[in-house]
Amino acid sequence: MLTGAQYLTSVQDGRRLFIDGKRIEDPLNHPLLASAFRFAASGYDRAYQPGATHGPYYTIPLTQGDLRAQLKAMGHWDDLASVTSTGLMALITAAARMSDHPEYGDYVARIRAYHQHCMENDLRCVQAITDAKGDRRLSPSKQDDPDLYTRIVERRADGVVINGAKLHITAAATAHELIVMPTKMMKPGEEDWAIACAVPVNAEGVSIVNTTYAPRGDDSDYWPISSQASYPEGFIIFDHVFVPNERIFLAGHVEHSATFAHSLGLWERLGGTAHMIEAADTLVGFAQLIAEANGVERISHIKDKIAEMIIYATLIRGCLEAAITHAEQTPEGWVHPNELYTNAAKHYGAAEWNLMVRHLHDIAGGAVLTAPSGRDLANPEIGELVAKYLRGKAGVDAAYRARLFHAIRDYTADAFGGWWLVTLIQSGGGLYAQRMVSTKHYPLDKAKQRALRIANFPETATPTAIASPAQP
Amino acid sequence: MLTGAQYLTSVQDGRRLFIDGKRIEDPLNHPLLASAFRFAASGYDRAYQPGATHGPYYTIPLTQGDLRAQLKAMGHWDDLASVTSTGLMALITAAARMSDHPEYGDYVARIRAYHQHCMENDLRCVQAITDAKGDRRLSPSKQDDPDLYTRIVERRADGVVINGAKLHITAAATAHELIVMPTKMMKPGEEDWAIACAVPVNAEGVSIVNTTYAPRGDDSDYWPISSQASYPEGFIIFDHVFVPNERIFLAGHVEHSATFAHSLGLWERLGGTAHMIEAADTLVGFAQLIAEANGVERISHIKDKIAEMIIYATLIRGCLEAAITHAEQTPEGWVHPNELYTNAAKHYGAAEWNLMVRHLHDIAGGAVLTAPSGRDLANPEIGELVAKYLRGKAGVDAAYRARLFHAIRDYTADAFGGWWLVTLIQSGGGLYAQRMVSTKHYPLDKAKQRALRIANFPETATPTAIASPAQP
Amino acid sequence: MLTGAQYLTSVQDGRRLFIDGKRIEDPLNHPLLASAFRFAASGYDRAYQPGATHGPYYTIPLTQGDLRAQLKAMGHWDDLASVTSTGLMALITAAARMSDHPEYGDYVARIRAYHQHCMENDLRCVQAITDAKGDRRLSPSKQDDPDLYTRIVERRADGVVINGAKLHITAAATAHELIVMPTKMMKPGEEDWAIACAVPVNAEGVSIVNTTYAPRGDDSDYWPISSQASYPEGFIIFDHVFVPNERIFLAGHVEHSATFAHSLGLWERLGGTAHMIEAADTLVGFAQLIAEANGVERISHIKDKIAEMIIYATLIRGCLEAAITHAEQTPEGWVHPNELYTNAAKHYGAAEWNLMVRHLHDIAGGAVLTAPSGRDLANPEIGELVAKYLRGKAGVDAAYRARLFHAIRDYTADAFGGWWLVTLIQSGGGLYAQRMVSTKHYPLDKAKQRALRIANFPETATPTAIASPAQP
Amino acid sequence: MLTGAQYLTSVQDGRRLFIDGKRIEDPLNHPLLASAFRFAASGYDRAYQPGATHGPYYTIPLTQGDLRAQLKAMGHWDDLASVTSTGLMALITAAARMSDHPEYGDYVARIRAYHQHCMENDLRCVQAITDAKGDRRLSPSKQDDPDLYTRIVERRADGVVINGAKLHITAAATAHELIVMPTKMMKPGEEDWAIACAVPVNAEGVSIVNTTYAPRGDDSDYWPISSQASYPEGFIIFDHVFVPNERIFLAGHVEHSATFAHSLGLWERLGGTAHMIEAADTLVGFAQLIAEANGVERISHIKDKIAEMIIYATLIRGCLEAAITHAEQTPEGWVHPNELYTNAAKHYGAAEWNLMVRHLHDIAGGAVLTAPSGRDLANPEIGELVAKYLRGKAGVDAAYRARLFHAIRDYTADAFGGWWLVTLIQSGGGLYAQRMVSTKHYPLDKAKQRALRIANFPETATPTAIASPAQP
């Protein structure tokens, strides 16, 4: 296992990173990225156990108990560790699904070797799936620029060369490996777009253009959350990147082009939903803390709003619990959360987040925006007067109340808050996608039968023949 | 165990029932009550096992597995059987809570004997808790009529005499026993109102005034659901009812006046929430069936609404699952569902029911109200023409489609539908009560600590002393 | 003008009405229809002015002032009078839109004559528009039964013969005239389905199958609202009905097949939305009255819910006000409400109604369902005890409180309440239809330009060419 | 009238401004404030008319037409101009309300003179109302620090000296004048807190501590909205500020301590609601533009969401229109918007804003966060590749699409977006306050009478005496 320091050394590997229109020469010390690398490094240090062969992210859960333990452990993982787990689990699952036919034997062997490689070297991986897509009404082969979906541009004896872009890749700049997968089902004739593979972040031809919610100011008290922990979003470009054969997991077999995305789906929402529950609890905590600091925690409509927030957090948590209680097994014996419950939890949590943020703002008051900063409090000329007026009831000092306001602003009404708003909706493909997945996994036929039974349809009834069962 | 027929004989016991301003002379054949007795009888028959000593309602769950099994079994119980279980479980729990002090020894012994008595005789019981309340701002002893909360009006050597009323008692008219409990905490000086006891439905001085959503017409095809199964709501009046000592479970010990209601709270929402899940599935089933019958099941906004309904049903189910996974144990070793999850599920299911009904109506169309009846279809003069125009796409006959419309109207837009709207909100004490209970059981302190940690408050911070942890 | 009594005589004209599978021989005295005829008659009597030539329903508004006056007057019209106005206004508007070409000269003249005829004879008319539709994915000419959309089956020198059905026609059984219109645009080749005409309710071959929310019980105190006023919903069947030439307003000119429906759209939502506002105010009124009767009107969360209901009512009212302030003029100089505002008001009012009903039920409590009836209160054996326990705080008697509960149940949780739920959603074609109409009338281009301006796009920017305007 | 340049000169008056813990020496060139002064200056230039004596902000509307014209004009005013109008209108109204008694004669005369002074010198004013409040459960005189509500600390012959703070004062740093008003009703004994007056921003003892959503980065393409226009929020401290007699509008007359706040209420929501409507239209515009740029504008669920946004914008606009149509007149003949409609519009717009933002994010996709910047596009090394993959369908270039994403992020998911979220909820005192005001202005008695009429209560009915009206 690597220590944080070893990790920091490992990523100084010549990777091509950009932000704000400039190539980043020294990522570890760039004002907008440094905290991301520090955050990833702290994840290594938290997990580090001398003598252990590898971190917990590389382990496949085999029982419901494993899954529940993993969910609990995840609370201590950083996001990069989480997506490493998700990405490798998706690969392993895809391998299992391809293992029924000798034709795919190479792919299966390579995936297993790659999993071993990452585990042994304690590497961090991100899954790179969403393509540029160009005109969304057209399939990959119909786009006026064939690179709008990542594709093979050249096949060589020792590997392939790929072009394309992968979007919205959280923490890509801080990872070691990009796990590239097709974004959707490809059709016969689209063999070049049926490409899954692994690419090191510093491979020749890879560039990552970054955006981030990391604060642009240097006052870590004013942004008490986002100044400490942030991951950039990566817009990854593959410009004639060579992938050696041993890192190719699919190349042209369109019949398995969607296998990777589906495998990913099994695993990816566990972490996301678990994270959302913690965020929901955090909102409740802020609401109660600021209500107390403002002295309004006993007012009826305030309590009512906090109760709604509590029920919100509890519903998501309950539904994720059910996803684990009803965990499903792959044919290989691996245990993943129930998809219906996970999707329902994810949808609800995302759909109602904005309302919960509104409740928090309604409770907290305008000082979320207007509270002077810690530096104002420290200013020798004005600080004392600021403190005099920014305090709450007796026992609640200005510095304490100010920090709560800044934390709430940072978390819900500044760049990081905006990142939450968009990310909760978009992760997992938008609310619409989650509705469709939920429908797919819900036992609709059983519900129909129940309705027919409740309505006292005779058992022999069909839409074309029905005799009244009940009339005397 | 009793058969349905034996049950029907047993309830012909001189009970004083009223409806529409008239004393009911022959309950089993009263047009508005007959189906309720039939329904209760069918519950006996479904559960009947020759040789079995008693039905499953009388058993106390001792493990999470028991609880889960009971939840599953409940799907086959009628409501009267469910409340019998809830009521007796509440009594048994109250007994356990009073068993720590010899002063309450008689109460404890009587409750256990009573439980045995009900079990051995396969009796059905309803819990009678809500008082008339009069002026809600005043406590029982301050009301201008002391009977507005049920109370002891006379104490005798062999028992007590009580006056009062208990409201909203579903299925009371069809039960054998009324389990009377105080509606809330009584204060010193209110000993007369601290009365818990059991009273047979046909006891001298007991009257039950009924209301019902049972249909007033005789067309069982037009009300395919409510014509088959309905329970009346009872307004129970106790007019100088004598309660013998062996049926008195509390009489004057105000310190335990709320013990019964709290014990009831542990058990009562399991059945209610389980029932709500089935109702949610039923709504989904109706939505999909009618969409198919109308030929609109592939239209995007229809699918979207059904997906929302699916997510609704799944969230309630998931949260109830969590309530069982995190079942709690009483000191006596009995297992009851986690209160936070149960309350959150109940609140959400009740709060969003109306919206789901709106979705169903939006999908189904105006024929929910305007579809001619089965009798219209059978009319020799006009039936054929009605059938010609009431059919759906090829393969969907008028009789089938009509029955679906009638079932949806009956379930959501007629007297039974109205009963659902009110009952879902009111059972368990209104949405406000459920919010307060959820807040009580949520670990608010943990959420506050999480928020402080997220906001990077220094660990030593207090509202009156905080030093910036992060600023260099 | 007719008096109520004259109206009642006029509808004894041999019309073929059905309900519950039976032909209605004596409509005026049928227990489920009598109140509808009485209600319509009372509308005549309220409007009757000796010497006046005709009621206000036949007048076309020419100014915004007229429209506002009409909106105010409508509060006193019964529904049948309202739809008479809407239907004739739609015809007159369609005539105007066809008046630009001599080819349609006959249609125009006949419509004007018909309008005159209805006005002079004080006739009540309903618009009959929704067809049976069969398989909704198929156009009229593609259905396996051509009658599934109303059509001409025979053309004669003196008129046409039509077959078909028109669904969801409120109050049809009580009207004099059916104004038949195509339900949608017909295409070339579908000339037979391009039929608009007027048919007397008692015409040979017309049958109306009715459904109703009129109570099935005879206790007018228990159904204080629906027992007094109700209109049946009609399922109208045309079985080889002859229409003489002077009542044909379109026959085969497919290019104007949608003109009638569009004209109807201009007028029909005014009455519906006005009615909805009154209903919203009524909900507020019930909520406040029952809160006061229960003694909870000062409790914070109760006040909060009533405030939400007030805002709901105010938003609908405000938006309808705006529809009148921004009334639009037809080329003929007739003034109709702005469609965007009307549709937005209608959508919002319908979409949130169920939530407001939930608030009312949450405030009122379970006695909405379980309050004994007035007849129970009058029963000599039990009435006094019922009164004792059904009263509220001092000053609120049982009879008063009971009637409030019954009114709330009747209005929101019984058959009439169910009619509201469905009708508010379905009138005007479902929520989806109203969203689409709103989009059509909203100045989307202006909103796009505003967004571009806010985003500081240079004025010369296009999607393919944009230079940064702001960067120094 | 002043030109923008003259305004910029006028504010270089020694005002004490702070931000980020530092005194601002050169406000016009401070990176976080410069754009605010520029923005205010551009407001002057837009309004400037050579020869005109004063801008439109100083004029009192006397007719509904004036009000409607003002509403329209406001679209072109900057926020500082708007609040100048609101603040002076509030003063003038308060003067009118005090003019009935000679005791207040001085106040009245001073206010009129002050209004004249501001108008003649084209001054910008902000109303300073919200106090620090300390322990919210305690009244001003009970706080442990008497300055927690602004108060008179010394009375002199020529004026008074005040202490206190006023919070959440948008644009204070850019104004000329602070219009100070009591935040609520004061009681006898609290004469020192009953202080209303005007204070120049640069008065001795005044300090303003600022916060702002102005971007911290210098890329005006990445923050295309907030880089152009922003106003800081001011935390204003009065430290022994002398107010000369002619600027004192209330000093000790507690009976009029709430008159100013109430007068303000009449005027302040007009501008806020008008602004909100424009924001709603802007959201719609962004949603449609990005849907088109992404090529998804014809997808059903996208259209559905945009339709909801359209209805949202239309309802607010409609309700504000109604507020003007039903404008009310003060006794002085001044016309202000109807309070019920304005509050309902404000409440609805604020309550649903977060949901509309969610819709926009759901439509736009993750690139709201992850789209590379214009500078990335301009980078010679990577720009071309970024452009290749960031473009939409044919005809939609990367630069155009990127700017849309950045604008949406800036407006809804960055610091400015957070400012909106909080400000919409908090302006006007939180949702709760708006509910209470709506209730106050709604004709609740009329709604109760309507409900009683609908429920067929006899006209003579009272809660204690009611005879059935309907039963035969």
Chain B CB contacts of A308 below 8 Å: 435
Angle at D309 between CA C418 and CA C351, to 5 degrees: 5
Interface touch B457/A221, C-beta < 8 Å: no
Classify strands D206-211 and D16-19 as parallel, antiparallel or unpaired: parallel
Sheet containing strand A159-170, edge to edge, reads A22-23, A16-19, A206-211, A233-244, A159-170, A151-156
**Residue C370: exposed, middle, or buried by beta-carbon count in 10 A (0-12, 13-18, 19+)?**
buried
CA end-to-end span of chain C, whole Å? 77
Q: Is the pLDDT of residue D424 over 60?
A: yes
Neighbours of chain B (3+ CB pairs under 8 A): A, C, D
pLDDT, tens only, B345-378: 999 999 999 999 999 999 999 999 999 999 999 9
Chain C CB contacts of A300 below 8 Å: 299-301, 304
Q: Residue B294: which of C20, C136, C235 has the nearest Cβ?
A: C136
Cross-strand partners of C278? none
Instruction: Note whether C77 and C35 are within 8 A (CB).
Output: no
Q: Is the pLDDT of residue D468 over 90?
A: no
pLDDT, tens only, C427-438: 878 899 889 999
Spatial CA neighbour of B219 closest among B94, B429, B385, B403 = B403
Neighbours of chain D (3+ CB pairs under 8 A): A, B, C
Q: Is the pLDDT of residue D471 over 50?
A: no
- Locate B417 and state its tokens: 């539908």
Q: Tell me what pLDDT residue B468 has.
A: 59
Neighbours of chain C (3+ CB pairs under 8 A): A, B, D
Mutation site for C-interface testing, chosen from A135, A144, A301 by largest number of C Cβ within 10 Å: A301
Chain B CB contacts of C374 below 8 Å: 21
In this prediction the pTM is 0.95
Sorting pLDDT into bands at 50, 70 and 90, what band is A270?
confident
Chain B CB contacts of C415 below 8 Å: 413-415, 418
Q: Tell me what pLDDT residue A469 has.
A: 53
pLDDT, tens only, C233-289: 999 999 999 999 999 999 999 999 999 999 998 888 788 888 899 999 999 999 999
b vs e for C42-61, b when ≥16 Cβ sit within 10 Å of the residue's Cβ? ebbeebbeeeeebbbbbbbb
pLDDT, tens only, C120-149: 999 999 999 999 999 988 999 999 999 999
For CA atoms B73, B78, B81, B87, give the dihedral sign. Answer: positive
Q: Is the pLDDT of residue A191 over 90?
A: yes
Report the pLDDT averaged over residues B399-425: 96
Long-range contacts of B377-386 (CB under 8 A, 24+ apart): B377/B402, B377/C21, B378/C21, B379/C18, B379/C21, B379/C22, B379/C23, B381/C18, B381/C23, B382/C18, B382/C23, B382/C207, B382/C209, B382/C237, B385/C165, B385/C207, B385/C237, B385/C239, B386/C209, B386/C235, B386/C237
Q: Is the pLDDT of residue B97 over 50?
A: yes
Instruction: Note whether D361 and A422 are within 8 A (CB).
Output: yes
- Comparing alpha-carbon positions, the chain C residue that sits nearest to D407 is C455
Chain A CB contacts of D426 below 8 Å: 361-362, 365-366
CA distance B227 to chain A (A): 9
Chain D CB contacts of B299 below 8 Å: 300
CA distance B16 to chain D (A): 26
Instruction: Note whether C462 and C471 are within 8 A (CB).
Output: no
- Comparing alpha-carbon positions, the chain D residue that sits nearest to B305 is D301
Mutation site for A-interface testing, chosen from B308, B454, B460 by largest number of A Cβ within 10 Å: B454
Chain B CB contacts of D300 below 8 Å: 299-301, 304
Pick the residue with more confidence: D197 or B336? D197
Q: Tell me what pLDDT residue B470 has.
A: 47
Interface touch C235/B371, C-beta < 8 Å: yes
CA distance B337 to chain A (A): 12
Interface touch A370/D23, C-beta < 8 Å: no
Q: How far apart are CA C377 and CA C387, in angstroms?
A: 6
CA distance D115 to chain C (A): 33
- Comparing alpha-carbon positions, the chain B residue that sits nearest to A224 is B455
ipTM of the complex: 0.95
Sorting pLDDT into bands at 50, 70 and 90, what band is C472?
very low
| Residue D179, helix vs strand vs coil | strand
Report the pLDDT averaged over residues A99-115: 94
Neighbours of chain A (3+ CB pairs under 8 A): B, C, D
Mutation site for D-interface testing, chosen from A221, A347, A361 by largest number of D Cβ within 10 Å: A361
pLDDT, tens only, A80-89: 999 999 999 9
Interface touch B463/A395, C-beta < 8 Å: yes
Instruction: Note whether D146 and D209 are within 8 A (CB).
Output: no
Residue with tokens 């002063």: B103
Q: Tell me what pLDDT residue B469 has.
A: 54
Chain D CB contacts of C454 below 8 Å: 225, 282, 285, 407, 411
H/E run at residue A403? helix A398-412
Q: Is the pLDDT of residue A468 over 70?
A: no
pLDDT, tens only, D84-120: 999 999 999 999 999 888 999 999 999 999 999 999 9
| Residue A395, helix vs strand vs coil | coil
Chain B CB contacts of D464 below 8 Å: none
Report the pLDDT averaged over residues B204-225: 96
Mutation site for D-interface testing, chosen from C352, C403, C410 by largest number of D Cβ within 10 Å: C403
CA end-to-end span of chain D, whole Å? 77
pLDDT, tens only, B108-154: 999 999 999 999 999 999 999 999 999 988 999 999 999 999 999 99
Interface touch D354/A358, C-beta < 8 Å: yes
Mutation site for C-interface testing, chosen from A296, A298, A300, A471 by largest number of C Cβ within 10 Å: A300
Q: Residue B438: which of A307, A410, A463 has the nearest Cβ?
A: A307
Q: Residue C311: which of D403, D438, D465 has the nearest Cβ?
A: D438
Q: How far apart are CA D415 and CA A215, in angstroms?
A: 10
Q: Tell me what pLDDT residue A70 has.
A: 87
Classify strands D195-200 and D177-180 as parallel, antiparallel or unpaired: antiparallel
Q: Tell me what pLDDT residue A375 has.
A: 96
Interface of D with B (CB under 8 A): 299-301, 304
Sorting pLDDT into bands at 50, 70 and 90, what band is A472?
very low
Q: How far apart are CA D37 and CA D30, in angstroms?
A: 10
Q: How far apart are CA D201 and CA D118, in angstroms?
A: 13
Report the pLDDT averaged over residues C175-199: 97
Q: Residue A366: which of D368, D373, D426 has the nearest Cβ?
A: D426
- Comparing alpha-carbon positions, the chain A residue that sits nearest to D426 is A366
